[in-house]
Amino acid sequence: MFLSLACLYSCAASIAEPPNKGDAAKKPVPVATAVATQKTLPIQVRGTGTVTAYSTVSVKSLVEGQLTGVYFKEGQEVKRGDLLFKIDSRPQESALMQAEANRAKAVASVSQAKADYSKAIASVNQAEANRAKAIASVNQAEANRAKAIASVNQAKANRTKAIASVNQAKANRAKDVAEAKNATERSQRYTGLYNEGAIGKDEADQIRTTAEAGKATVAASSSGIENAQAAVKAADADVENAQAAVKAADADIENAQATVKAADADIENAQAAVKAATAVIESLQASVSAAEADIDKAKIDLSYNSIFSPLDGRTGSLKVNQGNLVKANDTNPLVVINQISPIYVAFSVPQKVLPEVKKAMNGGPLEVEAQIPNSTSPPVQGELSFVDSAVDTTTGTIQLKGSFTNSGGQLSPGEFVNVVLTLRKEPNAIVVPTVAVQAGQKGPFVFVVKPDKTVEIRPIEVGIAAGSETAIAQGLKPGEEVVTDGQFNLIPNAKVEIKKK
């Protein structure tokens, strides 16, 4: 592999003059020639590479059980998602049913807990309603007490008024008694005067009537005293009744306040029941979530009983036959699948080529050809897809990878191939076989065959070399014929005989 002209062998330190030019002129020198051509010259790096799978998967079982089915043949091409193996699923199905039953039980418990929670909320509401009712009873009892106190005050006022009436009645009676006494004494005196004939009958009757009226007035005054004293007794009874009503109201207030305290205690108890029910619901909902997680895990475990191909590829040899017991994550895989479309070819190039490779990659993907040795098939076309991050210090090379579609399956993992990496293409290059280029004291040159079958030495400027061809930057024109074999026997203007190809 070369990017520039490889080692050119010197034909001589200098071009020596032959001892006898005449003999040389008479005898043509047999040579092989080639015509300088103008064409596009690919700049390539050549090497040997190894075909590697694009992806390799070791298929293993994630569950333990009996292998009940194998659904491919060794070496078969499989697609992503194709069924490969089946493992006895009865243990996983049982675990799934158990997990679903646990979830149903947990859901039922949550429903019961929610019912208890609703009941506790209803108890809180009822207790709050009872408390409101008890507070209303307290307010009513306090209103009744206030009314009873007002009744006491009114009864006391009535008693005071009745006592005043008694006193007034007694004063009136005393006055009436005195007047009645006077009237009686006067009547007795006037009766005596009448009997003596000192006064007339009418006057005596009038005085007697007045005395009798005074007695009636005294009787009426006594009755008024009795009535006033009865009013006092009635007022005393009203005071006692009103005071009893106050005591009853006080008792009602105490009872209503006790009911309020009891309602407060009921509210606290009901709220505690709500909190407890909430905690139970949360705990049971966590149990439901755990049961659902168990269901998901059981479903996942059940899905592991059917093993599908994770990629498109080719299966290797079957490691475990149907009927055998397989282990979860066993060291040995059930089968190995290699993805061969696309596929990689790994190869190395000298580190001195790396700058040219990186420069060429800036212009886009680089073409890579892989040729199977001793194969008559055309090279497989691909492109460069990977350049390693470090140079191997032991070999002075760096690893590259080419990616190939390999749709026809020409390349197989592990196969050795000849690799050609095309860095760029030089258009309109004047190209001659590399063996035509010679090295002299003044630089490289070629022997050019003139029309008269003599040769001349033509100094040239060498361009790039690719494979067995070298580009000539200056010194040659397309169509000129150059010597490719027999240069050691040539001198300027020597006659040549072109060998038949």
How far is Cα 131 from Cα 109, in angstroms, rounded to an integer? Answer: 32
Under a CB-based contact definition with an 8 Å cutoff, are residues 335 and 407 in contact?
Answer: no
Mean pLDDT of 63-71: 94
Question: How many CB atoms sit inside 10 A of residue 125's CB?
Answer: 12
pLDDT recorded at residue 194: 78
> What are the phi and psi torsion angles at 150 (to 5°)?
-60, -40
Mean pLDDT of 421-446: 92
Under a CB-based contact definition with an 8 Å cutoff, are residues 295 and 100 in contact?
Answer: yes
Give residue for tokens 């040539």: 490
Is the pLDDT at 2 greater than 50? The verdict is no
Burial of 492 (0-12, 13-18, 19+ CB in 10 A): exposed
pLDDT recorded at residue 13: 33
Spatial CA neighbour of 74 closest among 314, 305, 310, 313: 314
pLDDT recorded at residue 461: 94
- Could you give the angle at the alpha carbon of 115 between the alpha carbons of 114 and 116, nearest 5°? 90
* Amino acid occupying residue 213: A
Is the pLDDT at 65 greater than 60? The verdict is yes
pLDDT recorded at residue 3: 38
Under a CB-based contact definition with an 8 Å cutoff, are residues 264 and 131 in contact?
Answer: yes
Give the pairing type, strands 367-371 and 380-387: antiparallel
Which residues are within 8 A (CB) of 376 and not within 5 positions of it... i.e. 6 or more apart? none
pLDDT tens-digit readout, 93-112: 999 999 999 999 989 999 99
Give residue for tokens 């699948």: 337
How far is Cα 286 from Cα 102, in angstroms, rounded to an integer? Answer: 12
475 sits in the region (left: phi over 0; alpha: psi -120 to 50; else beta) called: left
Mean pLDDT of 458-476: 89
Mean pLDDT of 462-488: 90
**Weakest-pLDDT range from 21-25, 32-36, 121-125, 232-236:** 21-25
Spatial CA neighbour of 85 closest among 74, 95, 72: 72
Burial 204-242 (b: 16+ CB within 10 A, else e): beebbebbeebeebbeebbebbeebbebbeebbebbeeb
Question: How many CB atoms sit inside 10 A of residue 13's CB?
Answer: 8
Mean pLDDT of 230-254: 88
Is the pLDDT at 468 greater than 90? The verdict is no
Which residues are within 8 A (CB) of 431 and not within 5 positions of it... i.e. 6 or more apart? 36, 37, 38, 39, 41, 469, 470, 471, 472
How far is Cα 335 from Cα 339, in angstroms, rounded to an integer? Answer: 13
pLDDT recorded at residue 421: 94
pLDDT recorded at residue 14: 38
pLDDT band with cut points at 50, 70 and 90 for residue 26: low
Which residues are within 8 A (CB) of 266 and not within 5 positions of it... i.e. 6 or more apart? 123, 126, 127, 130, 131
3-state DSSP call for residue 373? coil
Under a CB-based contact definition with an 8 Å cutoff, are residues 5 and 437 in contact?
Answer: yes
Is the pLDDT at 396 greater than 70? The verdict is yes
> What are the phi and psi torsion angles at 145 (to 5°)?
-65, -45
pLDDT tens-digit readout, 271-323: 898 998 899 999 989 999 998 999 999 999 999 999 999 999 999 999 999 99
* Amino acid occupying residue 133: K
Is the pLDDT at 15 greater than 60? The verdict is no
Is the pLDDT at 10 greater than 70? The verdict is no
Is the pLDDT at 8 greater than 70? The verdict is no
* Amino acid occupying residue 83: L
Mean pLDDT of 108-119: 90
pLDDT band with cut points at 50, 70 and 90 for residue 192: confident
Mean pLDDT of the chain: 88
Burial 328-339 (b: 16+ CB within 10 A, else e): eeeeeebbbbbb
- Could you give the angle at the alpha carbon of 393 between the alpha carbons of 392 and 399, nearest 5°? 15
pLDDT recorded at residue 17: 43
Work out the percent of the chain whose per-residue pLDDT is above 70: 95
pLDDT band with cut points at 50, 70 and 90 for residue 501: low
In 158-265, beta strands by DSSP E: none
pLDDT recorded at residue 453: 93
